[in-house]
Structure 1
């Protein structure tokens, strides 16, 4: 019996290897790619599910049937990097055209094949024109996009064995392309290859494409004469899921060996002797709470005695001042060895973090650089402000980079496009271009030493082997409270919206009810999340809370006690704004190399101001909608006594008295109008309101106008 228990899993494994668990063995999978597939991220994720399922089912290869004419190359770059990671042979079939983003997807494949009359190329960065930006700012924005795109495209070519100079000519119109005695593109024009040119031999090998084939079926037949071509689409995927569900055994037969997952830390797990991985993804560097999480993780590494820290970077950038603080304080104070694994992008703030580590490693298709500071909304800075920020950032970053043994000229060229990068007379990136290095450039040897990165690796394990790290690899993840802080800082505008709308509705109703509880809960979660995120610390938490409460009290005075005085409301609003924006931004004073304190920097508060503006605008819209629609909703109509008492609301004596009121009628206030109250008109008591102030009881009043069911009065 023990022998059978051992033998059964082995037999199942053999059956899996021989094809019973891999129904697509011997088949090529084909997926069509159009402009909408590149521009719509949801659509692309759906296609990736099809590809992953086909590969998991044993497909021998994947053909991208590309028909793309106008999609943005920037949108396709990250998608192309995903294609390079697929574990099967990939072929691009250019079916009519692979222009813009389609060209990058083709470059990410192992082989490129052309249909008769098809075209490939012309993949420049596209930047939306903005009249608010100066020509210099527009040029800077274009240069940043060009540098990132060109480095990414070169990496794809070098990884897949295509000519890197073709990627340059596809992306940059100023490059042109001359190979041997053949001029393929003059300077000033983008390279766009037709099928015949793409397959012509240059220096003993095809220029780009392997050949011209009439259709996808012919390409699949040439690759696998005995195989079949499987078309991937939504119908096929649903059928696969249905068959997999039907094939599930009704009772467990044998335990399947589990593949060990990467270790993730718990709140109490020690870092002693461990290799700690800190992932830095797409949005991590735009959330202040993630910086606080990284700082706490580095602090624990120091306290517990970690062997090494590895930042795994795949980010387009983020908050510059928070990044500088992390570089100059926390990474400089780290006792363990630090490494950066660029997998696959370390752009802007990500590049600065990488250069603050002891050593950098690049993934095969990766890029690092383009660290020019931009404004809070991502647009380039004005020329004077750009020069000022460039100087400050270079001064601060230069200190860290020099301390870590990297060449300071690299970070200078990443920040300032006017510097370029030249080493020992060799021009690597010309002046006028922002330095962004692909994996081959970052690892190129100059005087026997790598330019920036120590090598190209495919995994964390390779870094461990190269650096002789012995500790267990664990991935740092936020704890429960840190997750709350990240959520709060990401959706702060929504909490502000809920808090303001709830507070206003509470002030318009007697007593303390549900809107008040909702408002208090929203703002309590807001301040608690930002306290955990590190935006607030120590005594400043009490100060900010006091300013916020003072603002709320002043707004209450304006609405309830002294309407129309304006000053308390304005001061209260300013207090609330200062408290909320400060909580979202915090205060960081950084000192450049040999300079004075950076002092107040409005750019550090841009995100907070934007979230506050969104919250206030959303609250105003929500309050307006509630005031218009809330009384008509069924739950609120049931609170009004109508037919059960005989008649309707209009039959009540108070409503009848109000209906008989006319403009010009005079009477006396029987209660204070702040702004609503009761007046006496000809012996009838009716509810009225005053605009732009308040009236004391006993004041003689005159009906100024009737506005629907409202009676507007003024003092006589």
Structure 2
């Protein structure tokens, strides 16, 4: 028996280190991955300025060899074309990307989130409601546009093996979508919007987290080497200035200010305001990367040609060329040609109303007054179309013809048409000028 016990003890002692090592390995925390994590906020309306910012953020992450990108998503949506470009940016990035939905990933925001490799959501967040709306907020009911956007959403969902039918239900209210995971059916007339718990159950979220740090750790990184991409002052200004409403307002102020200054000179303020507004318009689009210096030069040439049209007769040629340069400069500076033309049209009509009102109020100061002769040659200013012979008053002369009572007399060696006060004076009679009334010279016999 003793040899058997000894054998067991030897076996146990031989395997003990291995067993202990296995237990320690199982109880030890998983080893964190090494690498820099880039955190990029996506927390505003989707438009051209945001797209430019994200392009810079992804480029910096790639240049610095980042191991992970976390997008902090909280957006009501925005422009579809910008969302498509951002989606392609995320899908084409060699760096793994996590979309951490902190508030809402609505409309085009859900399209962007679906392109990420992983989706994390805060417990009180939501994703979906991606119906197309126009600039006024009204739902677009064009079957062609809905079909296009539905196919884009479906493809984005399928990219990461998510149920594409749910993505279609976020866009199209005319379809029915079964979601047995959450015991819910999307009926016709409804648009799908998922809470965080619902998204997790149907596969539209991969985890729930309260903070970005939790998301980073969930992805296997300690978060010690984390870099947050912040917007520069210029980018913040560009985002504001490239907003369609702000662009329209700047164009309105620019057109109204410059034209009022040209037509009703002397104030200075409208001209300065107009130039500053146009400068901000081109500056915003330049910083956002949509405009080059040539667009500003083209616009200045247009202003100069319009100003020359006011002073140099050209039968409208300078005016047409100037207008063409102005429109070309404004349109080329903007990201979207159609939006630029719409903004320009609205701004022009609004400015025209203001210009007409201002010109009417200050019509006496208008530039057209320089081409109108307004001096009056009145008698109180020393002007008269009739020569008054005041110089004859008191002079003596001789009647050249009989005065009955009018006739001709020689006064101071000059033949003058004269009249008497009613009496008759023979020819060759001496007389004296006693009154001058305009051209009427009254004489009396001496």
**Which interval holds the TM-score relative to the shorter structure?**
0.5 to 0.7
Q: Which residue of 2 is the match for residue 678 of structure 1?
A: 373
Q: Distance in 2 between matches of 1:476 and 1:314?
A: 16
Q: Distance in 1 between matches of 2:274 and 2:265?
A: 16
Query: Aligned pair 1:416/2:416, yes or no?
Result: no
Query: Aligned pair 1:434/2:191, yes or no?
Result: yes
Is residue 261–residue 271 contact of structure 2 (8 Å, CA) maintained in 1? Answer: yes
Q: CA RMSD in A?
A: 3.8
Query: Aligned pair 1:275/2:25, yes or no?
Result: no
Secondary structure in 2 matching 1:529: helix
Is residue 344–residue 365 contact of structure 1 (8 Å, CA) maintained in 2? Answer: yes
Q: Distance in 1 between matches of 2:175 and 2:313?
A: 61
Secondary structure in 1 matching 2:137: coil
Q: Which residue of 2 is the match for residue 548 of structure 1?
A: 299
Is residue 356–residue 404 contact of structure 1 (8 Å, CA) maintained in 2? Answer: yes
Q: Which residue of 1 is the match for residue 344 of structure 2?
A: 612
1:339-418 equivalences in 2 (<5 Å)? 339-381=98-140, 383=141, 386-418=142-174
1:199-598 equivalences in 2 (<5 Å)? 273-281=35-43, 283-285=44-46, 287-328=47-88, 330-381=89-140, 383=141, 386-422=142-178, 428-444=185-201, 450-471=202-223, 472-490=225-243, 491-508=246-263, 516=271, 518-536=273-291, 542=294, 544-545=295-296, 548-549=299-300, 551-562=302-313, 569=319, 572-573=322-323, 576-577=326-327, 579-586=329-336
Q: Deviations over 1:276-330 (max 9, x none)?
A: 222233x431x421221112111211121222222222222111111011112x1
Give 1:515 deviation, angstroms: 5.4
Is residue 315–residue 350 contact of structure 1 (8 Å, CA) maintained in 2? Answer: yes
Is residue 256–residue 355 contact of structure 2 (8 Å, CA) maintained in 1? Answer: yes
Is residue 560–residue 674 contact of structure 1 (8 Å, CA) maintained in 2? Answer: no
Q: Distance in 1 between matches of 2:40 and 2:176?
A: 31
Secondary structure in 2 matching 1:336: coil
Change in Cα spacing, 1:479 to 1:414, as seen in structure 2 (3 Å) is same
Give 1:533 deviation, angstroms: 1.0
Q: Distance in 1 between matches of 2:325 and 2:154?
A: 39
Q: Deviations over 1:338-359 (max 9, x none)?
A: 1112222111011111111111
Q: Distance in 1 between matches of 2:103 and 2:329?
A: 38
Give 1:525 deviation, angstroms: 2.9
Change in Cα spacing, 1:480 to 1:516, as seen in structure 2 (3 Å) is same
Q: Distance in 2 between matches of 1:673 and 1:338?
A: 64
Q: Which residue of 2 is the match for residue 178 of structure 1?
A: none
Q: Deviations over 1:418-456 (max 9, x none)?
A: 234225797542343212111121111xxxxx5210122
Q: TM-score, normalised by structure 2?
A: 0.65
The count of corresponding residues between Structure 1 and Structure 2 is 342
Q: Distance in 1 between matches of 2:119 and 2:103?
A: 12
Q: Distance in 2 between matches of 1:416 and 1:680?
A: 73
Q: Which residue of 2 is the match for residue 205 of structure 1?
A: none
Q: Distance in 1 between matches of 2:67 and 2:222?
A: 8
Give 1:512 deviation, angstroms: 12
Q: Deviations over 1:494-553 (max 9, x none)?
A: 43233223322442367996755554443233212202213336xxx63x4465345434
Is residue 370–residue 434 contact of structure 1 (8 Å, CA) maintained in 2? Answer: yes
Is residue 324–residue 397 contact of structure 1 (8 Å, CA) maintained in 2? Answer: no
Q: Distance in 2 between matches of 1:582 and 1:404?
A: 37
Q: Which residue of 2 is the match for residue 692 of structure 1?
A: none
Give 1:413 deviation, angstroms: 1.5
Change in Cα spacing, 1:400 to 1:534, as seen in structure 2 (3 Å) is farther
Secondary structure in 2 matching 1:276: strand
* Deviation beyond 6 Å, 4+ runs, structure 1: 509-514, 565-568, 628-632, 672-675
Larger gyration radius, structure 1 or structure 2: 2
Change in Cα spacing, 1:442 to 1:569, as seen in structure 2 (3 Å) is same
Change in Cα spacing, 1:399 to 1:675, as seen in structure 2 (3 Å) is farther
Change in Cα spacing, 1:557 to 1:341, as seen in structure 2 (3 Å) is same
Change in Cα spacing, 1:421 to 1:276, as seen in structure 2 (3 Å) is farther
Q: Distance in 1 between matches of 2:106 and 2:274?
A: 39
Q: Distance in 1 between matches of 2:346 and 2:69?
A: 38
Q: What residue ranges of structure 2 are gaps of 5+ in the alignment?
A: 1-33, 382-446
Q: Deviations over 1:42-69 (max 9, x none)?
A: xxxxxxxxxxxxxxxxxxxxxxxxxxxx
Change in Cα spacing, 1:397 to 1:554, as seen in structure 2 (3 Å) is farther
Q: What residue ranges of structure 1 are gaps of 5+ in the alignment?
A: 1-271, 445-449, 588-601, 637-671, 687-716
